[in-house]
Chains A and B, each alone.
Chain A
Amino acid sequence: TQLKIHVGLPKTLTTNIKKSEVECLLRVFHSLVEKANVRLNNFGLDRNAFRAILHSIFGMTDDMLMNRVFFAFDKDNDNCINAKEWVKGLSVFLRGTFEEKLKFCFEVYYLNSDGYISREEIFDMLKNSLHQQSSEEETDEGIKELVDITLKKMDFDNDGKISFADFEKAVKEERLLLEVFGPCLPEAKVQCQ
Chain B
Amino acid sequence: MKEDTSVVNILDKITKDEDPESEIKMKLGKLLKQLDLHLLNRSLKHISLEICLNPTIVKNDIELLKHFSGKGEQTVLESIDYTSDYEFSNGCRAPPWRQIHGEICYVLVKPHDVEALCITCSAEGVFLNGGKTDDEGEINYERKSEIYKDLVTFLKEKSAKFSENMSKQDVRFSEEWKKEKEEPKEAPKKEEAAAPHKALPASGKSMLEKNQINFGRSQMTKRLEPSLNWKATVDFKEHKSLLRDTQEEKHGGRLERSGPPVSPGRAQLVRKSAEKIEEMISESSSESEEDEEPPDHRQEANADLPSEYWQIQKLVKYLKGGNQTATVIALCSMKDFNLAQETCQLAIRDVGGLEVLINLLDTDEVKCKIGSLKILKEISHNPQIRRNIVDLGGLPILVNILDSPHKSLKCLAAETIANVAKFRRARRAVRHHGGITKLVALLDCAQNSEPAQSSLYDARDVEVARCGALALWSCSKSYANKEAIRKAGGIPLLAGLLKTSHENMLIPVVGTLQECASEENYRAAIKAERIIENLVKNLNSENEQLQEHCAMAIYQCAEDKETRDLVRLHGGLKPLASLLNNTDNKERLAAVTGAIWKCSISKENVTKFREYKAIETLVGLLTDQPEEVLVNVVGALGECCQEYENRVLVRKCGGIQPLVNLLVGINQTLLVNVTKAVGACAVEPESMMIIDRLDGVRLLWSLLKNPHPDVKASAAWALCPCIQNAKDAGEMVRSFVGGLELVVNLLKSDNKEVLASVCAAITNIAKDQENLAVITDHGVVPLLSKLANTNNDKLRRHLAEAISRCCMWGRNRVTFGEYKAVAPLVRYLRSNDANVHRATAQALYQLSEDADNCITMHENGAVKLLLDMVGSPDQDLQEAAAGCISNIRRLALATEKARYT
Known: A174-B335, A188-B366. A130 touches B318 (CB 8 A): yes
Contact A142 B321, beta carbon cutoff 8 Å: yes
Known: A130-B323, A188-B367. A176 touches B332 (CB 8 A): yes
Our pick among A177, A182, A188 for the contact of B332 (Cβ within 8 Å) is A177
Which chain B residue shows the least CB distance to A187? B366
A169-192 to B contact mask, C-beta < 8 Å, 1/0: 000001011011111000111001
Residues in chain B near residue A192, CB distance under 8 A: 405-407
Which chain B residue shows the least CB distance to A193? B405
Residues in chain B near residue A131, CB distance under 8 A: 321-323
**CB of A187 to closest CB in B, whole Å:** 8
B318, B325, B330, B370, most chain A CB atoms within 10 A: B325
Contact B371 A126, beta carbon cutoff 8 Å: no
B140 at the interface (CB under 8 A from A): no
A133 at the interface (CB under 8 A from B): yes
Contact A133 B321, beta carbon cutoff 8 Å: yes
Restricting to B324-378, which residues have a CB under 8 Å from any CB of A?
Answer: 324-326, 328-333, 335-336, 366-367, 370-371
Contact A145 B329, beta carbon cutoff 8 Å: no
Contact A189 B329, beta carbon cutoff 8 Å: no
Residues in chain B near residue A188, CB distance under 8 A: 366-367, 406
Our pick among B321, B336, B371 for the contact of A176 (Cβ within 8 Å) is B371
Interface range on chain A: under 10, 10 to 19, 20 to 34, or 35 or more? 20 to 34
A153 at the interface (CB under 8 A from B): yes
A129 at the interface (CB under 8 A from B): yes
Give CA–CA (A26, B333) in the complex, Å: 42
The tally of CB-CB contacts under 8 A between chains A and B is: 70
Residues in chain B near residue A179, CB distance under 8 A: 325, 328, 367
B314 at the interface (CB under 8 A from A): yes
A146 at the interface (CB under 8 A from B): yes
B599 at the interface (CB under 8 A from A): no
B697 at the interface (CB under 8 A from A): no
Give CA–CA (A129, B330) in the complex, Å: 12
Give CA–CA (A90, B332) in the complex, Å: 28
**CB of A11 to closest CB in B, whole Å:** 25
B831-861 to A contact mask, C-beta < 8 Å, 1/0: 0000000000000000000000000000000
Contact B367 A129, beta carbon cutoff 8 Å: no
Known: A149-B330, A153-B336, A188-B366. A180 touches B406 (CB 8 A): no
Restricting to A141-171, which residues have a CB under 8 Å from any CB of B?
Answer: 142, 145-146, 149-150, 152-153
Contact B322 A174, beta carbon cutoff 8 Å: no
Residues in chain B near residue A48, CB distance under 8 A: none
A128 at the interface (CB under 8 A from B): yes
Give CA–CA (A130, B326) in the complex, Å: 7
Residues in chain B near residue A181, CB distance under 8 A: 325
Contact A150 B405, beta carbon cutoff 8 Å: no
Known: A146-B318, A149-B329. A189 touches B323 (CB 8 A): no
Residues in chain A near residue B322, CB distance under 8 A: 129-131, 146
B315 at the interface (CB under 8 A from A): yes
Residues in chain A near residue B333, CB distance under 8 A: 149-150, 152-153
**CB of B32 to closest CB in A, whole Å:** 72
Our pick among A128, A133, A142, A150 for the contact of B329 (Cβ within 8 Å) is A150
A47-83 to B contact mask, C-beta < 8 Å, 1/0: 0000000000000000000000000000000000000
Residues in chain B near residue A130, CB distance under 8 A: 318, 321-323, 326
**CB of A150 to closest CB in B, whole Å:** 6
Contact A129 B323, beta carbon cutoff 8 Å: yes
Give CA–CA (A126, B328) in the complex, Å: 12
Residues in chain B near residue A176, CB distance under 8 A: 328, 331-332, 367, 370-371
Contact B328 A180, beta carbon cutoff 8 Å: yes
**CB of A102 to closest CB in B, whole Å:** 16
Which chain B residue shows the least CB distance to A143? B326
B668-688 to A contact mask, C-beta < 8 Å, 1/0: 000000000000000000000
**CB of A63 to closest CB in B, whole Å:** 14
**CB of A137 to closest CB in B, whole Å:** 15
Contact B332 A126, beta carbon cutoff 8 Å: no
Which chain A residue shows the least CB distance to B367? A176
Give CA–CA (A16, B321) in the complex, Å: 39
**CB of A183 to closest CB in B, whole Å:** 7
A133, A181, A192, most chain B CB atoms within 10 A: A192
Give CA–CA (A193, B404) in the complex, Å: 12
Known: A174-B335, A179-B367, A192-B405. A153 touches B329 (CB 8 A): yes
Residues in chain A near residue B329, CB distance under 8 A: 126, 146, 149-150, 153, 177, 180
Residues in chain A near residue B335, CB distance under 8 A: 174
Give CA–CA (A180, B371) in the complex, Å: 12
Contact A129 B325, beta carbon cutoff 8 Å: yes
Which chain A residue shows the least CB distance to B336? A153
Which chain B residue shows the least CB distance to A150? B329
Give CA–CA (A177, B326) in the complex, Å: 11
A105-141 to B contact mask, C-beta < 8 Å, 1/0: 0000000000000000000011011110100000000
Residues in chain A near residue B326, CB distance under 8 A: 126, 129-130, 146
**CB of A80 to closest CB in B, whole Å:** 29
Contact A149 B323, beta carbon cutoff 8 Å: no
Residues in chain A near residue B321, CB distance under 8 A: 130-131, 133, 142
Our pick among B315, B325, B370 for the contact of A182 (Cβ within 8 Å) is B325
Residues in chain A near residue B366, CB distance under 8 A: 187-189
Contact B315 A149, beta carbon cutoff 8 Å: yes
Residues in chain A near residue B405, CB distance under 8 A: 192-193
**CB of B449 to closest CB in A, whole Å:** 16
Give CA–CA (A187, B322) in the complex, Å: 19
**CB of A26 to closest CB in B, whole Å:** 27
Residues in chain A near residue B328, CB distance under 8 A: 176-177, 179-180
Contact A153 B325, beta carbon cutoff 8 Å: no
Give CA–CA (A180, B325) in the complex, Å: 6
**CB of A172 to closest CB in B, whole Å:** 13
**CB of A99 to closest CB in B, whole Å:** 15
Residues in chain B near residue A145, CB distance under 8 A: 314
Which chain B residue shows the least CB distance to A133? B321
Residues in chain B near residue A149, CB distance under 8 A: 315, 318, 329-330, 333
Give CA–CA (A129, B329) in the complex, Å: 11
B324, B332, B336, B406, most chain A CB atoms within 10 A: B332
Restricting to B494-511, which residues have a CB under 8 Å from any CB of A?
Answer: none
Give CA–CA (A191, B482) in the complex, Å: 37
Give CA–CA (A183, B324) in the complex, Å: 9
Which chain B residue shows the least CB distance to A128? B323
Which chain B residue shows the least CB distance to A189? B366
Give CA–CA (A133, B406) in the complex, Å: 34
Residues in chain B near residue A125, CB distance under 8 A: 325
Residues in chain B near residue A189, CB distance under 8 A: 366
Give CA–CA (A131, B324) in the complex, Å: 11
Which chain B residue shows the least CB distance to A132? B321
Question: Which A residues fall within an 8 A CB radius of B?
Answer: 125-126, 128-131, 133, 142, 145-146, 149-150, 152-153, 174, 176-177, 179-183, 187-189, 192-193
Nearest 7 CB-CB pairs, A to B? A129-B326, A188-B366, A129-B325, A129-B323, A182-B325, A131-B321, A149-B333
21 residue pairs bridging A and B, Cβ less than 8 Å apart: A125-B325, A129-B322, A130-B321, A130-B322, A131-B322, A131-B323, A142-B318, A149-B315, A149-B330, A152-B333, A153-B329, A176-B370, A177-B329, A177-B332, A180-B328, A180-B329, A182-B325, A188-B367, A189-B366, A192-B406, A193-B405
Given pairs A146-B322, A176-B371, A180-B325, 14 additional interface contacts (CB within 8 A): A130-B318, A133-B321, A142-B317, A149-B315, A152-B333, A153-B336, A176-B328, A176-B332, A179-B328, A180-B332, A182-B325, A183-B325, A188-B406, A192-B406
Question: Which B residues fall within an 8 A CB radius of A?
Answer: 314-315, 317-318, 321-326, 328-333, 335-336, 366-367, 370-371, 405-407
